[in-house]
Amino acid sequence: MRPSHVHQLTQGDVIAHLRRMTLPLLMAMVLLMTFNFVDAFFVSLLGTRELAAFSFTFPVTFTLFSVVIGLGIGTSAAVATAQGRGNTERARALGGSALVLSACLVLVMALPVWLGHDWLFRALGAEADALGLIDDFMGVWLLGVVFITFPMIGNAVMRANGNTRLPSLVMAGSAFVNAALDPLFIFGWGPVPAMGLKGAALATVIANLVSSAVIVYMLVFRMKVVGWFREWTERLAGYREILAIALPAAGANMLTPVAMGAMTALMASYGEAAVAAFGVGTRLESLVTLVVLTLSMSLPPLISQNAAAGHMDRVRLLYSRVIRFVLLFQGGVYLLLLIGARWIGEAFGQDAEVAATIALLVSILPLSYGAQGVIILSNSSFNALHRPMSALGLSVIRLFVMYLPLAFIGGKIAGLTGVFVGAAVANCLTAVIAWRWVWYHLCCNRQSSTEEARESTL
């Protein structure tokens, strides 16, 4: 019998399923991304040095996030595929295995970051006077790094079972706790001392701890969608199934902070104001592309379950409708950002140079966010179809064949303006490649199970 709170996604109107799964996630993502942006706003009130130091932490922290995101992608694909084939008990066992596996891997990866993060930040271009501020943040954040795993993997298990309402509540609650604690710990109040960047990290750790406790309770006692393999051979097979998708997906996700690290170093060559503006820009990007990010979480379970059941016509319909919607939606968002570019710059820039640089970025880069959405959703679709190596290849093309080279060349031609124009052109060119690549597999290959199984083990 299928557990409560689990939805069959291979029956009924597939677009209606997508709306039902996306809307609760979207509301949660609005809160989550808004509060994350508020986090950057509170830090910006400390000053340009603190904002720049905070921006330097992003490539490193996102590297660890990328590992967990990759594990979540592998978990979602494996669990949803098992559900699509009607194997509920295997889906439960895969969910439980993923929680344990992710916690262990993140702890192992966090150790070298703990031991060598000063060297990493120097390599990114951080000056000696910024390292103390960066240490304040990273010292606390790394102590609670394991708590980023349970909410992310737990939410992936829930979404793979077709339930997005409960994950949405957890995400919204975590965002609220973080936003409430940020000003208290950063600036202090009453008996609580002002802790600056250390306070921002502490607020994040506590929010993740609370959401970890809630998500484990929901998975075990409310949804009843996590279990355990009885035999070690089954457990190892489950780990391999998850990692076959998770490792390439994590590798693809880890390319992003590597590229962002290189981009941060490029920004550093233009001065501290450029680094601060780029840090605000990366967080603004997450906020204004939240619809894309939401769809990248709600779309894969639908693709995996329907592909596993052999309903490729439903998969093609999903992909084509989502791509068209994202291009139109992000075009409208860009017009709003263009109108408000100057105000955004003044709101987050504590001096005229930072404000002007933020306004310049907002006027150019968001023009390509629709194209970036095509790339993100194409990557999600490849992973859901158990084609992780295709997703990895697409990420390599976007970041290292297009994004960084064109941004660098643009900078040589026209300074910061050229950097932003080059990055936008790179997104548009890669989007064309992504769409044609996915559509070829959907229409021509007809999802050969044998080929997918072979690719997922590469």
AA letter at 302: L
Per DSSP, the three-state class of 189 is strand
Residue 37 pLDDT more than 70?
no
Residue 151 pLDDT more than 90?
no
What's the mean pLDDT in 2-8?
A: 55
What's the mean pLDDT in 354-377?
A: 89
What's the mean pLDDT in 371-386?
A: 93
User: Using one digit for the tens of pLDDT, what is the confidence trace for 14-28?
Assistant: 888 888 888 887 877
pLDDT of residue 35: 63
Q: With cut-offs at 50, 70 and 90, classify the pLDDT of residue 6.
A: low
What's the mean pLDDT in 209-222?
A: 87
| Straight-line distance from the first to the last Cα atom of the chain, in angstroms, rounded to the nearest whole number | 35
pLDDT of residue 127: 73
pLDDT of residue 421: 93
CA dihedral (94, 99, 104, 110) in degrees, to 10, reads 130
Mean predicted lDDT score pLDDT of the chain: 83
pLDDT of residue 223: 79
- Where is average pLDDT lowest: 95-109, 110-124, 183-197, 377-391? 110-124
pLDDT of residue 54: 79
pLDDT of residue 45: 79
Percentage above 90 pLDDT, the chain: 19
- Using alpha carbons only, give the angle 362, 366, 368 rounded to the nearest 5 degrees: 145
CB atoms within 10 A of CB 242: 27
User: Using one digit for the tens of pLDDT, what is the confidence trace for 322-347?
Assistant: 999 999 999 999 999 888 888 887 77
CA distance 251 to 255: 6
Give Cβ neighbours of residue 179 (< 8 Å, ≥ 6 apart). Answer: 35, 38, 39
User: Using one digit for the tens of pLDDT, what is the confidence trace for 241-272?
Assistant: 888 888 888 888 778 778 888 888 888 888 77
Answer whether 145's CB lies under 8 Å from 107's CB: yes
Residue with tokens 């019998």: 1
CA distance 79 to 160: 6
- Phi, psi of 407, deg, nearest 5: -65, -40
- Where is average pLDDT lowest: 82-91, 366-375, 389-398? 82-91
pLDDT of residue 450: 39
Q: Is 21 exposed, middle or buried (0-12, 13-18, 19+ CB in 10 A)?
A: buried
Q: With cut-offs at 50, 70 and 90, classify the pLDDT of residue 448.
A: very low
Give Cβ neighbours of residue 115 (< 8 Å, ≥ 6 apart). Answer: none
Percentage above 70 pLDDT, the chain: 93
What's the mean pLDDT in 146-155?
A: 88
pLDDT of residue 271: 78
Write out the DSSP string of 401-435.
IIIHHHHHHHHHHHHHHHHHHHHHHHHHHHHHHHH
pLDDT of residue 389: 92
What's the mean pLDDT in 286-312?
A: 86
**Greater confidence, 231 or 367?**
367
Q: With cut-offs at 50, 70 and 90, classify the pLDDT of residue 4.
A: very low
Q: With cut-offs at 50, 70 and 90, classify the pLDDT of residue 350.
A: low
* Its pTM surpasses 0.85: no
pLDDT of residue 449: 41
**Greater confidence, 425 or 123?**
425
User: Using one digit for the tens of pLDDT, what is the confidence trace for 49-98?
Assistant: 777 787 778 777 877 887 888 888 888 888 888 888 888 888 888 888 88
Q: With cut-offs at 50, 70 and 90, classify the pLDDT of residue 401.
A: very high
CA distance 106 to 70: 11
CA distance 182 to 40: 10
